[in-house]
């Protein structure tokens, strides 16, 4: 397309929607026209972007008339209904929900990992591209370079996930509960059915009866297989919500096909796109969710040989990573996907 695209943001009042605006401005994404959409509750609210004030409109079936790029982050049911309508109207959709991720014909993209998946898609000509689950993105940015060098045979991941993954209302509830608990009051539990402040709990997504994994854990397995185009890699995950505002942490154990030791992995990761190594053993300084917040890069540290593995060559590694859930886990990754289409 020759002129700057007409961009629509669906769910602009949410945590990810607000981050879309920051990322688009910071990266100077070309925008010919901007349409901001949310529910009827938000219609009429105003939002400033690059010195211009925009009025939020209610999302309807007629919202996408001349839109070229629609960034969706308003939840799965809204995406299911409106993303096909937007695509039929000619908008290329980058969808943050899980609604389309596992459909074969829908590319599931982490730009540092599989940018080739968007080949053939043109802005303004319809189509849906899925943004992966936040925990999957934050895991695959640092693990893929290791996989390419040494082949991941099996991966064991445990997550420590922030409130932001459950949306702006969950972040507000964590803040409220923290002050309530400190004041000796009963915490308000509207979003999660139990106390979140000063606590942690198994991820709030539904448990799949067949095997007992929750949906978040199972997404990390299935999405990695799709993105890597490799279903042979063995993956198991345990996902936990911790009282942190907006960055996820993950402990990752890798079993490798080929030998690769911690020093080689550290060197490899220091050159990898989208990764920053924070691995100071002397100072005991490693990635933290606070340091990762508002950062584009996924921070990686605690890079060490897995001493539980036998043999003279190192074929097991441990890592600890932190990445901003709202940014690289959602808005930034989606905008980077859109950037692949404007180049
Ligand atoms: P609204 O603020 O008007 O409810 P989060 O993930 O942070 O909770 O944000 C969810 C986003 O999805 C918000 O922007 C919210 O808008 C939007 N949303 C929720 N329900 C609808 C709907 N029925 N139509 C359009 N947008 C919706």
In a domain, 179, yes or no: no
Known catalytic residue at 134: yes
Closest by Cα among 28, 10, 168 to 95: 10
DSSP state of 91: P
Q: Can you tell me the distance from the alpha carbon of 277 to that of 271, in angstroms, rounded to the nearest whole number?
A: 9
144 and 98 share a domain? Answer: no
In a domain, 259, yes or no: yes
Collapsing DSSP to helix, strand or coil, 291 comes out as: helix
Task: Give the CA diameter of the chain.
Answer: 66
Tokens of 52: 């211009």
141 and 125 share a domain? Answer: no
Whether residue 169 has its Cβ less than 6 Å from ligand 1: yes
Atom of ligand 1 nearest to the CA of 171: 7
Provide the 10 A C-beta neighbour count for residue 44.
10
- Residue 318 · residue 253 · CB < 8 Å: yes
C-alpha atoms less than 13 angstroms from C-alpha of 102 in its C-beta half-sphere = 11
Tokens of 222: 């299935």
Whether residue 165 has its Cβ less than 6 Å from ligand 1: no
Question: Over the stretch 308-332, which tens digit does the pLDDT of each residue have?
Answer: 998 889 899 999 999 999 999 999 9
Whether residue 15 has its Cβ less than 6 Å from ligand 1: yes
91 and 72 share a domain? Answer: yes
Atom of ligand 1 nearest to the CA of 58: 25
Whether residue 59 has its Cβ less than 6 Å from ligand 1: yes
Q: Is the dihedral of CA 230, 233, 238, 242 positive or negative?
A: negative
Distance 39 CA to ligand 1 centre (A): 6
- Residue 220 · residue 157 · CB < 8 Å: yes
- Residue 326 · residue 304 · CB < 8 Å: no
Q: Can you tell me the distance from the alpha carbon of 6 to that of 91, in angstroms, rounded to the nearest whole number?
A: 9
In a domain, 340, yes or no: no
Closest by Cα among 120, 114, 116, 113 to 92: 120
β-strand partners of 298: 275
237 and 115 share a domain? Answer: no
- Residue 153 · residue 249 · CB < 8 Å: no
Of all protein residues, the one whose alpha carbon is nearest to atom 25 of ligand 1 is 39
Strands 57-58 and 52-55, sheet pairing: unpaired
Share of the chain residues as helix, strand and coil, in percent rounded to the nearest 5: 30, 25, 40
E strand or H helix at 72: strand 69-72
The total number of structural domains that make up the chain: 2
Q: What are phi and psi of 270, to 5 degrees?
A: -70, -20
261 and 298 share a domain? Answer: yes
Of all protein residues, the one whose alpha carbon is nearest to atom 3 of ligand 1 is 39
155 and 263 share a domain? Answer: yes
Atom of ligand 1 nearest to the CA of 17: 14
305 and 269 share a domain? Answer: yes
Q: Angle formed by the axes of helices 134-150 and 215-228, to 10°?
A: 40
Of all protein residues, the one whose alpha carbon is nearest to atom 20 of ligand 1 is 39
99 and 144 share a domain? Answer: no
Which CATH number characterizes residue 290's domain? 3.30.360.10
pLDDT value of residue 59? 98
- Residue 12 · residue 71 · CB < 8 Å: no
pLDDT value of residue 239? 98
pLDDT value of residue 2? 66
Angle among Cα 330, 332, 335 to the nearest 5 degrees reads 105
Closest by Cα among 329, 312, 136, 88 to 233: 136
32 and 56 share a domain? Answer: yes
223 and 319 share a domain? Answer: yes
pLDDT beneath 70: ranges in the chain: 1-2, 343
Known catalytic residue at 211: no
Distance 304 CA to ligand 1 centre (A): 42
Atom of ligand 1 nearest to the CA of 38: 26
Domain-terminating residue out of 106, 130, 154: 130
Which CATH number characterizes residue 89's domain? 3.40.50.720
pLDDT value of residue 314? 84
Tokens of 213: 């994994």
Range of the domain at 146: 135-162+201-241+244-325
Whether residue 17 has its Cβ less than 6 Å from ligand 1: yes
**Four-point Cα dihedral 93, 97, 99, 100, nearest 10:** 50
89 and 146 share a domain? Answer: no
262 and 317 share a domain? Answer: yes
In a domain, 196, yes or no: no
Tokens of 140: 């695959």
- Residue 159 · residue 253 · CB < 8 Å: no
């Amino acid at each position: 397309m020759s002129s700057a695209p007409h961009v629509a943001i669906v769910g602009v009042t949410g945590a990810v929607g607000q981050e879309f605006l920051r990322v688009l401005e910071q990266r100077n994404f070309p925008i010919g026209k901007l349409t901001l959409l949310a529910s009827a509750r938000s219609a009429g609210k105003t939002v400033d972007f690059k010195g211009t004030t925009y009025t939020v409109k209610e999302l309807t079936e007629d919202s996408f008339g001349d839109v070229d790029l629609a960034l969706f982050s308003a939840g799965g049911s809204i995406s299911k209904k409106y993303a096909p309508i937007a695509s039929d109207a000619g908008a290329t959709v980058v969808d943050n929900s899980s609604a389309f991720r596992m459909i074969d014909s829908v590319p599931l993209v982490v730009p540092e990992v599989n940018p080739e998946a968007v080949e053939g898609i043109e802005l303004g000509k319809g189509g849906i591209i899925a943004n992966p689950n936040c925990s999957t993105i934050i895991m695959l940015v640092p693990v893929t370079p290791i996989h390419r060098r040494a082949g991941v045979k099996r991966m064991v991941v445990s997550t420590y996930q922030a409130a932001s993954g459950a949306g702006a209302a969950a972040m507000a509830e964590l803040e409220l509960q923290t002050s309530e608990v400190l004041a000796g009051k009963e915490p308000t539990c509207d979003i999660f059915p139990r106390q979140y402040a000063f606590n942690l709990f198994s991820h709030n997504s539904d448990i799949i009866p067949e095997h007992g994994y929750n949906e978040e854990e199972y997404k990390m397995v299935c999405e990695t297989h799709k993105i890597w185009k490799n279903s042979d890699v063995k993956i198991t995950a345990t996902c936990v919500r911790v009282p942190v505002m907006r960055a996820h942490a993950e402990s990752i154990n890798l079993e490798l096909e080929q030998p690769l030791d911690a020093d080689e992995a550290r060197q490899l990761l220091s050159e990898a796109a989208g990764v920053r190594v924070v691995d100071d053993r002397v100072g005991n300084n490693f990635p933290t969710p606070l340091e990762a917040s508002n950062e584009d890069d996924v921070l990686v540290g605690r890079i060490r040989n897995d001493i539980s593995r036998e043999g003279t060559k190192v074929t097991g590694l441990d890592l600890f990573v932190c990445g901003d859930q709202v940014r690289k886990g959602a808005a930034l990754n989606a905008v980077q996907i859109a950037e692949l289409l404007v180049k």
